[in-house]
Every structure is written in C-alpha cells, then in structure tokens.
Amino acid sequence: MTQTSSVSPGALDAPADSRRWWTLTVVALAQLMVVLDSTVVNIALPAAQADLGFSNGDRQWVVTAYSLAFGSLLLLGGRLSDLIGRKRTFIIGLIGFAIASALGGAAGDFGLLVAARALQGAFAAMLAPTALAVLTTTFTIPKERARAFGVFGAIAGAGGAIGLLLGGFLTEKFDWRWNLYINVFIAIIAVIGAVIFVSSVDRTGPRPKLDVPGTILVSGALFGLVYGFSNAETDGWDSPLTWGFLAAAVVLLVAFVLWQRKATHPLLPLSVILDRNRGAAYASVLIAGAGMFGIFLFVTYYLQESLGFTPIQTGLSFLPMIGMLVLAAQLSTNIFVPRFGPKIMVPFGMALGVVAMLMLTRLDLGSTYAANVLPALMIMGFAMGSIMPASMQTATLGIDRQFAGVASAMVNTSQQVGGSIGTALLNTFAATAATGYIADHLPTTTAVAAEAAVHSYAVAYGWGAAFFAFGAVLAALLFRRRGQGLSLSHAPAASSDEDDLAPVMAH
C-alpha cells in the first residue's frame, strides 16, 4: 500500500479486506510466544538445573538474560520496524526467535543456555513492538480496532499464566527442553502466516535515519534499570551493584531525554509520551505489570509449596483467571471503553486489582483453592482484562505511522520494566517479612517455616494492592474525559495519510 497525499479512510481499509483478521491471528500467535516465554521457563528451571548442573546462584540468569535483552532493546526493536518495514522486521524477529529457542533447547551447558535466552530476548524486542505496530496500522475502524486490541490485550495479560500452564505440562510429560523447542513450531506457523497475510507498506520520500546516540543511551538506561532491580532481587538492596546500576540508569535516562529534545531524527519523539492519554496508558501498563507479578510469582509458590499442587495442577489453576481476562477484554473493548472511555475503565480495573490482592492476603495454611484462591484469581482476571486492552489501545491511538513502532515499543517497555520492578520490590518485601516472622517465632520448626512463607506472601499481596490503588488514582487523574479524545496535534510530524485518518481514529 503506497502512501499518498489524499487517501480516504475507506480506501485505506480496502487492501486489507478479510485478511486483516488473519493478520490478527498471526500477530496474536507471535505475541503469545513472546509473553509466555517470560514465565514458561520458570517451571522448567529445577529440571534444567538438575540436567546441566548449575548452581542456585546461577539459575536466575536463565530468566534474567531474557528480560535484560528484551527490556533494554525494545525501543530499538520498535524503531527498526519503522525504519526497515514492519513485515520484514516481524519475519526476521520470528525466524531469529525460533533459532535462539532451538539453540536453548539443545544447550549442553549453562553458558549456551544463558546465551540462547539472551538471544531470544533480543529477537523478542523486535517482535513484540512490531506485532503491536502491525495492529495499529492494520485496524483503523474504531469497532474493529477495539475488537483487535481486545484480543491482543487479553493475550498480553494472560500470556504469563498460559506460560505457567504450558511449562508445567511440557516439563512433567516430556522434558524441560520442550519449553524452548515448542517456540520453533509456533514460529514456523507464524512466519507462514506473516508471509501470506501481513501487508507490506511502500515508503515514499527519504528513508528516515536511526538515532544512534539515542539508541545507545536508552538501551544502556533500560539495561541498568532492569539489571539493577534484578540484582536487588538476588543480592538485596544493600548491594553497591544494585544502586550503581540504578543510578547509572537515571543518569542515562536524563541524558536520553536531553538528547531527544535536540536530535534531528529522534528515536522517541517526546511528544509521543508527553500526550496525557498516552502517558497515562504507559503508566497504567507499568503499574499493572508490577502488581501482576505478585499473582504469578507468589500464588504459584503458595499452590505448590503450601497446598502441594503439581506443576500441571498449578498451571490449570490459572485457567479461570485467563477465562475471566478474555471475557473482560472483549466486554470492555466492545462495550465499556467506547461508552465510558479509559478514564473510567482503567481505574475500575485497578480497583478490582486492589480487591483481588486484599482477598489473597487472607490466605493461610488451612485455605482451599476453590473457596479462597479461585475467587481472587477470577477478579484479578477481570481486572487485567479491563486495564490492558484499554491502555494498549489508547497508547497507540492517533500516532503518526512513522512512529507506530516506537510508540508500540513503549507499551512493551512499560510492561517489562513494571514486571522487573514488581518482582524485585515484592520479593524484597516478602523476604524481609519471612525473616522477621521467623525471628519472632523461635525456635524455627517446619510449621513455623510454612507459616512464615504464607505470611511473606500476604505482605507481598498487600504491597501489590498498594500498587493497584496508586494506579487507580493516577489513571483517574491523568486520562482525559471521554469526548476530549486524543489530541492528534501532539503526534510528531503527522503524515498526510494520518490526517485523513483523524476522523476515524479520534473516536
């Protein structure tokens, strides 16, 4: 599709015709692969550790290598999709992810496994923002856009839980290596689908340039941020390494912002994130990501260690949450968001998150899944289904096509950084609470240790509730009222076809 100076909204949709729904299927498959890989390996770690013989201190790197590469390269990946084309970037990302997954599955030692996970993260940083950018530029009619983002938001929210389910099944029934090999088959299907269904867009005019200094600054800043919080999780907040990397991240972020203000071809035009609605959407995704890890991490521990669930049972336990998340995503994007807007729906979802977390604080060793865990998980599913699609849709609404990739990358960056911050903070609070409980209940017996663990989870849930409460207030204050819409004038260097889209997208 060649961009011209006078394209009507109807004409823009014509080339896509029925293929756009197949495009959604392909994009959703790729997004699922990227998101579930953040958690699918967690359940396989004990088996991988026994097979390859690495230490407890080293095992966190199997998870951290992926998140470090993914988090620090996301903005670069998003910008590459703007520069070399979304279809091309998407296919390169899929093929690279498949190769990295095959390398990890075949790894004969710890070093190769970690290297493969880092390579997975690098290609995921190309895939995730490109997938969202493809949706942003494929679906322009408000009703269809809402439906597409409902599906995409549901997958983004549920991918972690699906990863736990799939990881448990593959580890128990096959081998830990299949947690990585499975990506090869998913990627092959997605590549075939991308070649057939994802449309190419012909660029007119001069090819934009990559902002190399900006890329180096922000990649270094995101690396420092993710590594700093990951190090806090393992070495504690008194580690000089933790504060050194966090301080470096702040300095590099400030330098990045200053550079973006004067760069001729900025990596991330500041007007993309300074728009109130988009800023609120990015903040909401970050806070929801931080709170959500409390669910996956500590409920998984509680079900397996306190209630004695197997990995497969643990994965199955999250299915009702996924069901509620998908239901809420469809209801909110097709009915509630068009009627009430994100200013109502996102704080509503955050408030439900508070309720679910507070319910989980009441769990003890005598609690049961059906009576105590299930209701909280279902409410949390509805909460995430109300937050994620509305936030993702708002974050990319009205954005200039030439910056769709980097605006989409900011959504994934927010979720990734939120997850890193949430994991580090909640783990720290939980560990401190457990230590304090044991110190107050000496001598330490098996029963005291079990009670200490449950107490530590409750403290983490309490802080998770605080995250969601803060998110509710922030979203209510920042999102514009329905009717004010997203100011397209804030989009940088709006292209001519974007102006033609304004009546359609400013719904």
| pLDDT (tens digit per residue) in 459-502 | 999 999 999 999 999 999 998 876 554 433 333 333 333 333 22
Tokens of 360: 């989980």
pLDDT value of position 103: 95
Q: Are residues 252 and 359 in the same domain?
A: no
What is the band of 46 on the pLDDT scale with cuts at 50, 70, 90? Answer: confident
User: Which residue type, as a one-letter code, is found at position 92?
Assistant: I
Q: Are residues 162 and 291 in the same domain?
A: yes
By three-state DSSP, how is residue 204 classified?
coil
Query: Which element (helix H / strand E) includes 51?
Result: helix 40-52
Residue 114 lies in a domain: yes
pLDDT at 12 over 50: no
pLDDT value of position 15: 44
Q: Are residues 331 and 436 in the same domain?
A: yes
Q: Are residues 238 and 368 in the same domain?
A: no
Q: Are residues 260 and 159 in the same domain?
A: no
Q: Give the pLDDT confidence of 285-308 residue by residue, as tens digits.
A: 999 988 887 677 788 889 888 998
The CATH number linked to 70 is 1.20.1250.20
| Domain closes at, from 235, 250, 266 | 266
Q: Give the pLDDT confidence of 48-67 residue by residue, as tens digits.
A: 888 888 876 677 788 778 88
Q: Are residues 113 and 48 in the same domain?
A: yes
pLDDT value of position 473: 95
Q: Give the pLDDT confidence of 160-218 residue by residue, as tens digits.
A: 777 877 887 888 888 889 989 989 998 999 999 889 888 776 555 556 678 889 888 98
pLDDT at 143 over 70: yes
pLDDT at 45 over 60: yes
| Domain closes at, from 221, 250, 266 | 266
Q: Give the pLDDT confidence of 335-380 residue by residue, as tens digits.
A: 888 888 899 999 999 999 999 999 999 999 999 999 999 999 999 9
Range of the domain at 216: 211-266
Residue 3 lies in a domain: no
pTM of the model: 0.78
Average pLDDT over residues 244-266: 91
**Percent residues over pLDDT 70 in the chain:** 89
Q: Are residues 240 and 217 in the same domain?
A: yes
| R_g of the chain, CA atoms, integer Å | 22
Q: At what angle do helices 178-197 and 142-173 cross, to 10 degrees?
A: 150
Average pLDDT over residues 385-413: 81
Residue 203 lies in a domain: yes
CB atoms within 10 A of CB 74: 30
Q: Are residues 262 and 273 in the same domain?
A: no
Q: Are residues 336 and 272 in the same domain?
A: yes
CB atoms within 10 A of CB 257: 16
Q: How far is CA 135 from CA 87, 159, 169, 408, in A?
A: 12, 18, 31, 10
Residue 244 lies in a domain: yes
Stronger pLDDT, 78 or 118, i.e. the higher one: 118
Q: Give the pLDDT confidence of 311-327 residue by residue, as tens digits.
A: 788 878 888 988 898 89
Q: Are residues 167 and 245 in the same domain?
A: no
What is the band of 282 on the pLDDT scale with cuts at 50, 70, 90? Answer: very high
User: Distance between alpha carbon 175 and the CA centroid of its chain, in Å?
Assistant: 27
| Domain closes at, from 244, 266, 288 | 266
Residue 4 lies in a domain: no
What is the band of 16 on the pLDDT scale with cuts at 50, 70, 90? Answer: very low
Q: Are residues 206 and 220 in the same domain?
A: no
Mean of all residue pLDDT scores within the chain = 81
Residue 337 lies in a domain: yes
Cβ(74)–Cβ(419) below 8 Å: no
Tokens of 425: 């903070």
**Percent residues over pLDDT 90 in the chain:** 29
Closest CA to 78 of 21, 137, 124: 124
Residue 440 lies in a domain: yes
pLDDT at 504 over 60: no
User: How many domains are contained in the chain?
Assistant: 2
pLDDT value of position 344: 92
Q: Are residues 45 and 127 in the same domain?
A: yes
pLDDT value of position 494: 36
pLDDT at 278 over 60: yes
Question: Which are the contacts of 218, defined by CB distance < 8 A and separation ≥ 6?
Answer: 75, 76, 252, 253, 256, 267, 268
Cβ(58)–Cβ(112) below 8 Å: no
By three-state DSSP, how is residue 39 classified?
coil
pLDDT at 157 over 90: no
pLDDT value of position 497: 34
Residue 454 lies in a domain: yes
pLDDT value of position 204: 53
**Angle 176-54-452 from CA coordinates, rounded to 5°:** 85
What is the four-CA torsion angle of 351, 356, 361, 366, rounded to 10 degrees?
Answer: 160
Work out whether the CA dihedral 461, 464, 468, 469 comes out positive or negative: positive
By three-state DSSP, how is residue 261 classified?
helix
